[in-house]
Amino acid sequence: MSGALHTVTANPALDQTVTLDALNIGAVNLARAASVNAGGKGINVASCLADWGLRACAHGLLGRDNAAPFEQLFADKRIDDRMLRVAGATRTNIKLADLSRGDTTDINLPGPAVGEAELAALAARLAGIAAGDIAVLAGSLPPGLPADAWARLCRQLKRQGAWVLLDSSGPALAAALANPSPALPDCVKPNREELEQWAGRELPTLNDVAQCAQALQKLGIDRVIVSLGEQGALLTDGRQTLLASLPPQRPLSTVGAGDALVSGLAAARHQALGAEDSLRQAVAFAAAKLQRVGPHLPPPQHIQALAAAVSLKKLEAA
């Protein structure tokens, strides 16, 4: 087993999921159900890890005005609350789940404005992460943080000897990937659209995705995992490129499936699994999450059964 598990969420959110039989744009829609869950990528990862039986420390920036739902989640799941409290209210993300299409429309609101002082305080809090620990840096950056915030924290954590997994997008991801080789994350998990943003071009075919992931890995990142929705996920580590897939799943909610995949990768690192078993477990976490609303997983035996059903295909090197 590897060291302690840590997640870092700079821009958490209250996820308000509204379930609809069908989303009709420009019309009045009658909701079938609605729920509110404490979320944000890193917090979702910590929550899924707890359901797997692993305790994580949740770091990040949390608005004081509506911290209660997050504090309740941390207490319920025995997540170590190391979130810094900042002025204002944590943002709300509205998620419209369309049952007829099996997809979700996201409306993400901005978070409270923060700045260099809050980033410095967060960096100081992360100084306690030890060599061999696992650190997941996840999600977007709130208003006021510089685009290189993840890049700076990644440099710090790598100096401290942590194993770093980054799941972000846009300028924040690009800045971290521009770090010098010793300061690069050990693992990144873009989806296809985020990988296209980084590459500056469309990646319409699986071969295009594989070639781009391989180019990214060659920058000095140990593992690149690309989540591909219903197609599964692709992993490349410089030795092989694998595509993992499961039979089509009927989702109750697609919200947080990518975060569950990240939690599966973090758990696999903690369990010292090899590349193939890590990918199987990650895809199983994501598929299992489809059957839950909110940052929750079904019992471990259900996930283990899904992992056993994951098929792996080795792709030719580009």
Q: What is the pLDDT along the chain (318 residues), one digit of tens a residue?
A: 678 999 999 999 998 989 999 999 999 999 999 988 899 999 999 999 999 999 999 999 999 999 999 999 999 999 999 999 999 999 998 989 898 988 889 898 887 889 999 999 999 999 999 999 999 999 999 999 999 999 999 999 999 999 999 999 999 999 999 999 999 999 999 999 999 999 999 999 999 999 999 999 999 999 999 999 889 999 999 999 999 998 877 666 666 789 999 999 999 999 999 999 999 999 999 999 888 877 889 999 999 999 999 999 998 755
- Please, what is the Cα angle at 18 between 284 and 7, to 5 degrees? 45
Instruction: Tell me the pTM.
Output: 0.91
Q: Is 259 a catalytic residue?
A: yes
Output the six-digit token pair for 260. Answer: 């569950």
| Three-state SS at 138 | strand
How far apart are alpha carbons 176 and 169 in whole angstroms? Answer: 10
Q: Cβ contacts of residue 24 below 8 Å, gap of 6+?
A: none
Intra-chain end-to-end CA distance of the chain, in Å: 34
What b/e sequence results for 248-274 when a residue is b if at least 16 CB atoms lie within 10 Å of its CB, and e otherwise?
A: ebebebbbbbbbbbbbbbbbbbbeebe
Catalytic residue among 65, 106, 259, 277: 259
